Structure 1
Amino acid sequence: MQETAPQVNPPKIRRFIRWLSAIILIALGVAVWMHTRHSGTTKHSPSAQAVGVAMATNGDMPEILKALGTVIPVNTVTVLPQLSGYLTEVGYREGQMVEKGQFLAQIDARQYEITLQQAHAQLAKDQAALAQAEADLQRYALLNERKSIAPQTFADQQFLVKQQQASIKADQAAIAQAKLNISLCHITAPVSGRVGLRLVDPGNYVTASSQPGIVVITSIKPTTVEFNVPQASLSRVMQRFNAGNPLSVAAFNGENSKQLASGVLYAIGNQMATSTGTITLRARFANDDEALFPNDFVNVQLHVDTLRNVLLVPTAAVQSGAPGNFVFLVNAGRNAVSVRTVTTGPADGISTVITQGLAAGDMVVVDGVDRLSEGASVKLQDKASGPVTEQAPKDTKRADMAAAPSR
């Protein structure tokens, strides 16, 4: 007979599998707990942020008003003919620099020369008539003394002499007018400057005060620049201007990258523009190099005053946010920063005046501020680790703006 294999009890197998599964789950849970606990105890604190810093120092700060200005020539003259005639000659080149009194154009003067000859002839005729009247007056005077003629006849002759004398004066005036007309045919420059494009060619008939004229002359050297300053700054400007202190003005190109010329404020307007709340000022520039072109737009910097011995920090250190203007102040240990609210004054793009909130010697962050917050850990970058270093105080002695161009 064949032996049968022993049968396994299914309930026992199922209990064994359940116990084994429970033991595996418990083991996994313990392993996860141990791993989590180990990770929590070994977690590192965030690394310190590398920053560049600078020190607040005392120095001088120029008080500058910036504005957009327009180059306005001292003189812009349209040369018009003062009498009629054919234009026979033009004596200038377009764009040429001319001096006052220099020849510009010629009008045909022959008709005015004829008028002068006629005036001379009339003068000679009236002089002869006067001589005859004076001779008759002398004879009438003798006869009047002898009572040989009526007194009325003698008086009439006296009046006739006076009439002839007046006619001579009229003739002399006519001669002067004719000479003036001849001189006006020779047109000269009334001012010095640069002539523009030619407006009329030789051969054309021109009339008195005919438009557009013969030529336009614009003064180049010297020239002026007009610009506006706000009402709030006017009192400060007037105080210095009325005290007789020359206020220097610098003109820069449109990109503010190059100084074109230096001048002096010489005139202040007499009315405030109610629509803009500004007043117009005018500065004079020698413009020897002709860097300022008429009607060109320039950026103007008016040097009102220089603030002496004020607290300065780099402009990059000043931030704006919910608390207002603030800086990140480095603590004494140089390993953390705190937010310090400050009150700012004038700035020149490089440095900013701090009127409240800091003291000389305080160290502020100028680079790497975008990831900082109150109490953040920092480390100062050295020269080997980055481009930004702990900046030594720059020379903060600001000289007043020079009158000569710096470019």
Structure 2
Amino acid sequence: MGLNVKRAAKLLIGALVVLPAGYAAYHFRTDIKSLKLPFALPFMPAAEAEQGPAAAPPPRPPVAVKVATAKAEDVPIYLTGIGTIQASNTVNVQSRVDGEIVQILFQEGQDVKQGDILAVIDPRPFQAQLDQQLAVRQKDQALLDGAQIDMERYDALIKTAAISRQVVDQQHALVEQYKAQVRNDDAQIEYARTQLGFTNIRAPISGRLGIRLVDQGNYVRAVSPTTIVTVTQLQPISVIYTLAAVAVGQTRLSLGQTEAPVVALTADNSVELDKGTITLVDNQVDQASGTIKLKASFPNKALKLWPGNFANGRITVDTRKNAITAPAIAVRHGPRGDFVWIAKADDTAAFRPVTVGQIFDGRALIDKGLARGERVVTDGYYRLENGSRITIEGQTPTAKAQPTAQPRSEPRVD
């Protein structure tokens, strides 16, 4: 009885070990058959190792894209840079004579014309000096008139030898002395009038006033001038651009006076501020930075350019005739440089490297890699690979034979 129980237990244990092992061996044999091995395993027939290639996968569906045609057009060539806005003229208005300010005749921020009176210095001391010089001249003129009468009398008497030649010569010298004194008086009178005129402080240029810096009642001196107000000329206005000297040297611009159209733009290049002209290319290059300064003049009629502010500039230096252009959105950037996707006549996409000259108004100037009339992909390029089948949106598809699967001859670049 005990022997039979032991035998039954051994058989049960053996079955529990053999059955899972057999099940695993069966599935392992089934999986290994699906492997394509160039050699036969010991437990599988050699014919199974020499199975033919698997059936080709089904072709991928075409990628929907939008395209645009490359054009040939006249393209302006630009140089771009950032510039500092400077007033054409800025003058600190100061007194040229000593005295008390008795009147302030302007408002802060006011537009003034050249010659407008801005402030008045007490004129009474200067008027008194002028009156004094006028009186002195009147006295000297009377002395001159008397001396001339005596001289004419002496000239008549010398003819009869009634007086000596010495007396006549002395009288002639006295007349010349009085004439010189009168001329000196005239100069003193002109100086006094000038000083009196300086009591009216006038605008030296036309422009816009800033903040008043001196109040009425203050005493000002010419030897230590105090700025009363600053006048800034805003129309026209200047912008100083700093550009790479190498880039400027490749254009038709030359050192000194020149003329080239320029457009002032906001910092994000989205808004046009004004149109002007490059009037000057500086006569030396900054050796530290390799840059050169260009001066532009703008009419600034809308007063959008403010002194001290910054403005981007787009300078037209040339016009390229019949240049190839494409939408800027079609140009992609990869590890090997710029490229576009070309929509070929057989409705497949092709990778094409290009050289971009510049981007302007949403279009790219293509220096190399694209011909007029070729179609470039402008949307849907993220799923493209070299040779991918495409369908062009907005175009009626034509009946074609179903192509075989396209091999991946070019990895996806973008």
Conserved in 2, the CA contact under 8 Å of 1:81 and 1:210?
no
Distance of 2:169 and 2:208 partners within structure 1 = 63
Q: 1:382 pairs with 393, 399, 407, which one?
A: 393
1:229-378 matched pairs, under 5 angstroms: 229-235=243-249, 237-239=251-253, 247-335=260-348, 337-348=349-360, 350-370=362-382, 372-375=384-387, 377-378=388-389
Note the alpha carbon deviations across 1:30-53, whole angstroms, 9 max, x for none: 65468889xx65965655554443
Conserved in 2, the CA contact under 8 Å of 1:248 and 1:303?
yes
Note the alpha carbon deviations across 1:40-81, whole angstroms, 9 max, x for none: 659656555544433322223221111101211111111221
2:213 maps to 1:199: yes
Residues 92 and 177 (structure 1), Cα distance of their counterparts in 2 relative to 1, 3 Å cut: same
Conserved in 1, the CA contact under 8 Å of 2:256 and 2:283?
no
Residues 80 and 243 (structure 1), Cα distance of their counterparts in 2 relative to 1, 3 Å cut: closer
- The count of corresponding residues between Structure 1 and Structure 2 is 376
Distance of 2:214 and 2:264 partners within structure 1 = 36
Task: Flag the structure with more relative contact order, 1 or 2, with Cα contacts below 8 A and sequence separation at least 6.
Answer: 1
Note the alpha carbon deviations across 1:98-147, whole angstroms, 9 max, x for none: 01111101000101111111111111111111122112212222222222
Comparing 223-232 and 165-174, the one that deviates more: 223-232
Q: Counterpart of 2:238 in 1: which secondary structure?
A: strand
- In structure 2, the gaps of 5 or more residues are 37-53, 396-414
Comparing 23-32 and 271-280, the one that deviates more: 23-32
Residues 118 and 218 (structure 1), Cα distance of their counterparts in 2 relative to 1, 3 Å cut: same
Distance of 2:152 and 2:11 partners within structure 1 = 177
Note the alpha carbon deviations across 1:197-235, whole angstroms, 9 max, x for none: 111111111111533322211001121211123222334
Note the alpha carbon deviations across 1:257-313, whole angstroms, 9 max, x for none: 211111122222222222222222222211111111112111111112222211112
Distance of 2:21 and 2:237 partners within structure 1 = 99
Conserved in 2, the CA contact under 8 Å of 1:77 and 1:216?
yes
Alignment correspondent of 1:393: none
Letter in 2 for 1:256: N
- In structure 1, the gaps of 5 or more residues are 385-407
Alignment correspondent of 2:407: none
2:68 maps to 1:54: yes
Alignment correspondent of 2:227: 213
Conserved in 1, the CA contact under 8 Å of 2:256 and 2:281?
no
Q: Counterpart of 2:234 in 1: which secondary structure?
A: coil
TM-score using structure 1 length: 0.82
What is the CA distance between 1:7 and its match in structure 2? 5.6
Q: Counterpart of 1:358 in 2: which secondary structure?
A: coil
Conserved in 1, the CA contact under 8 Å of 2:355 and 2:366?
yes
